[in-house]
Amino acid sequence: MLTAITRAFRTPDLRNKLLFTLGIIVLFRLGSVLPTPGVNTVNVQQCLKEAQAGDAANIYGMVQLFSGGALLKLSVFALGIMPYITSSIILQLLTVVIPRLEALKKEGQSGTAKITQYTRYLTIGLAVLQSTAFVALARTGQLFPNCRQPLLVNNDVFTVVTMVVVMTAGTSVIMWLGELVTDRGVGNGMSILIFTQVIAVFPSELLNIFRQNAFTFVIVMLVGVFMIAAVVFVEQAQRRVPVQYAKRMVGRRMYGGTSTYIPLKVNQAGIIPVIFASSLLYLPQLLVSLFGNSENPGPIVQWLAQNFVRGDHPVYMVTFFVLIIFFTYFYVSITFNPVEVADNMKKYGGFIPGIRPGRPTAEYLNYVLMRLTAPGSLYLGLISMVPIIALVVAGASQNFPFGGTSILIMVGVGLDTVKQIESQLQQRNYEGFLK
Amino acid sequence: MAIDTRGEAADRPSKSSGETVKKQRTSPALFYRQIVAELRKVIWPTRKDLISYTTVVLVFVLIMVGLVAGIDFLLTQGVLAVFGGA
């Protein structure tokens, strides 16, 4: 284990990638701590301390989790990676609905680039909306209802506009950082950044629990380790569909004749459905925080405030569960295309024993995938539910740091990243071995 | 007949028969049984794999948590030092 790490740092190529990723993480955290111009840092810190210690702590839990603690600090990267994720979900959903986007997607590389461009525009739009909302909240002092100190240095229009512009710019920088990690670093940029956000709030929450009750702390840690193991177990489970390749002569050489398999994971979708579902459910909270404090909130906002703000409300839980199952199927269907896989196999002379190449193969793959995704989606839903249910049963209302979502994100990204490092390491070492 | 075993020609008859089969929806009970049948064919990780992967993930997460916490602490101190006195 330790030798693997030293070896990883000894290979220059991999070392550069790792250091690059770490550098991006440092930059990301710097932006999450750096206050936006116009913010009274001392007052914000004080209010933050009061809010975290007070009863309102669990209301802020979700907000904190999804911004890596940056939002309440009113920092440059206050919005975190959420706008980018939300807009990529919206575009992926729209691809199914709008024929023009579907045509673009089928176009291949240039079309995908176009869709990415739209995603970025939408991100900026969302960022402007969200930052305006939060700056407005901060200005009127509703961000911390119990704290009566002015959060801004002054309340004129210029300051507010500056803050909105800075936060929006911060969001686009985050977007760029994420893409840089995907290009030149280790792992998927978006996942790495959301991983950083999730683990950034961990120490303070754990510390909170430890201060309240050391016994609970031990139990929480045990449950956490158990859940990590459970997630690893399911993530590693594969259904191996056997594929036999026909032998063929090309010139004087013999090719193929090997038998391999197509690995279909039980949870082929990974952690994306959970991220999608929770960021979608984050929208009502946003709406409530925007309009909920006005004198006369509309019936819709009131209903949302009653049912969707607290994570342990039945309506919220059911919606969350259904959304996860929906997104799992949705994401599997857009990432794994059985027809394409079957076509490729046919082209290279491969077949699944007992099933004809071409259409029947595609149908068979689809059959297996749909059957596997059912337990996969249930697993995702259940893991995300477990902590909430446990909280309700135990009657403990404090924020559970091992929320299913954060566990899934942590383990999913952790596994992916470690595997990617390992495969690159192997590549390197085999190369050195052969020379 | 020999031609029909390969390529498009073989696909076409199965297409028409496939459509008639597809019209019937799978009943929930059958779907459940099919799920169980597929799950039996799944290769689950062995105890050894599970332990090693879990430790690797744990170590990775702990290292990252430590790192990010350290960075955060330093940066927060720095920000307070710069902006706190104002």
- CA-closest candidate to residue A408, choices A375, A430, A386, A432: A386
* Nearest-by-Cβ selection for A232 from B31, B43, B54: B54
CB–CB contact A233 B50 (8 Å): yes
Taking only the tens place, the pLDDT of each residue in A162-172 is: 889 999 999 99
Report d(CA A216, CA A235) in Å as an integer.
28
* Closest CA in chain A for residue B18: A360
* Closest CA in chain A for residue B40: A239
- CA-closest candidate to residue A224, choices A35, A70, A22, A408: A408
A332 Cβ neighbours under 8 A, 6+ residues apart? A268, A269, A369, A373
Instruction: State residue B80's pLDDT score.
Output: 79
- Cα end-to-end span (Å), chain A: 25
ipTM of the complex: 0.80
Q: Which CATH superfamily is domain A1-201 in?
A: SecY subunit domain (1.10.3370.10)
Chain A residues within an 8 Å CB radius of B56: 1, 414, 418
Q: Can you say whether the dihedral through the CA atoms of A289, A290, A295, A297 is positive or negative?
A: negative
Instruction: State residue B15's pLDDT score.
Output: 43
Dihedrals phi, psi of A245, to nearest 5 degrees: -100, 135
Report d(CA A42, CA B86) in Å as an integer.
8
Instruction: State residue B10's pLDDT score.
Output: 43
Instruction: State residue A51's pLDDT score.
Output: 66
Chain B residues within an 8 Å CB radius of A30: 75
B26, B30, B35, B61: best to mutate for the A interface, most A CBs within 10 A = B61
Q: Residue B3 carries which side chain, given as an amino acid letter?
A: I
* Nearest-by-Cβ selection for B75 from A30, A236, A266: A30
CB–CB contact A374 B35 (8 Å): yes
Taking only the tens place, the pLDDT of each residue in A43-89 is: 777 777 776 665 544 555 556 666 667 777 788 888 888 888 888 88
CB–CB contact A237 B35 (8 Å): no
Least trusted range by pLDDT, from A225-234, A255-264, B14-23, B63-72: B14-23
A3, A52, A72, A199: best to mutate for the B interface, most B CBs within 10 A = A199
Q: To the nearest whole number, what is the mean pLDDT of chain B?
A: 74
Chain A residues within an 8 Å CB radius of B7: 358
CB of A186 closer than 8 Å to CB of A18: yes
Chain B residues within an 8 Å CB radius of A151: none
Long-range contacts of A156-161 (CB under 8 A, 24+ apart): A159/A37, A159/A38, A160/A38, A160/A135, A160/A136
Report d(CA A369, CA A363) in Å as an integer.
10
- CA-closest candidate to residue A24, choices A195, A167, A165, A163: A195
Low-confidence stretches of chain A (pLDDT beneath 70): 1-5, 51-68, 141-148, 256-257, 289-298, 305-312, 387-388, 390-403, 428-435
CB–CB contact A232 B53 (8 Å): yes
Chain A residues within an 8 Å CB radius of B35: 371-372, 374-375
- pLDDT interval class at B5 (50, 70, 90): very low
**Domain A1-201 shares a fold with domain A213-400:** yes
Instruction: State residue A49's pLDDT score.
Output: 72
Report d(CA A400, CA A392) in Å as an integer.
11
Q: CA distances (Å), A390 to each of A102, A133, A216, A384, in order?
A: 42, 33, 13, 11
Burial A104-127 (b: 16+ CB within 10 A, else e): bbeeeeeeeeebeebbbebbbebb
Q: Please state at what angle helix A12-33 crosses helix A2-10, rounded to 10 degrees.
A: 100
DSSP A75: B
* Closest CA in chain A for residue B51: A229
Instruction: State residue A166's pLDDT score.
Output: 92
Higher pLDDT, B9 or B61: B61
Q: Residue A205 carries which side chain, given as an amino acid letter?
A: E
* Nearest-by-Cβ selection for A239 from B41, B59, B61: B41
pLDDT score of B20 more than 60: no
Give the global pTM. 0.80
Q: Which two tokens stand for residue B53?
A: 């992967």
Report d(CA A131, CA A155) in Å as an integer.
16
Secondary structure element (H or E) that encloses residue A208, with its range = helix A202-212
B11, B40, B64, B79: best to mutate for the A interface, most A CBs within 10 A = B64
pLDDT score of B1 more than 50: no
CB–CB contact B61 A414 (8 Å): yes
Q: How big is chain B, counted in residues?
A: 86
Instruction: State residue A124's pLDDT score.
Output: 94
Higher pLDDT, B23 or A175: A175
Q: Residue A384 carries which side chain, given as an amino acid letter?
A: S
Q: Which two tokens stand for residue A71?
A: 């939002």
Chain B residues within an 8 Å CB radius of A372: 35, 38-39, 42
Report helix, strand or coil for A238.
Answer: strand
Determine the distance in angstroms separating the CA of A194 from the nearest CA of chain B, rounded to an integer: 13
Domain locations in chain A as residue ranges: 1-201, 213-400
* SS3 assignment for chain B: CHHHHCHHHHHHHHHHHHHHHHHCCCCHHHHHHHHHHHHHHEECCCHHHHHHHHHHHHHHHHHHHHHHHHHHHHHHHHHHHHHCCC
Question: A213-400 adopts what CATH topology?
Answer: Preprotein translocase SecY subunit (1.10.3370)
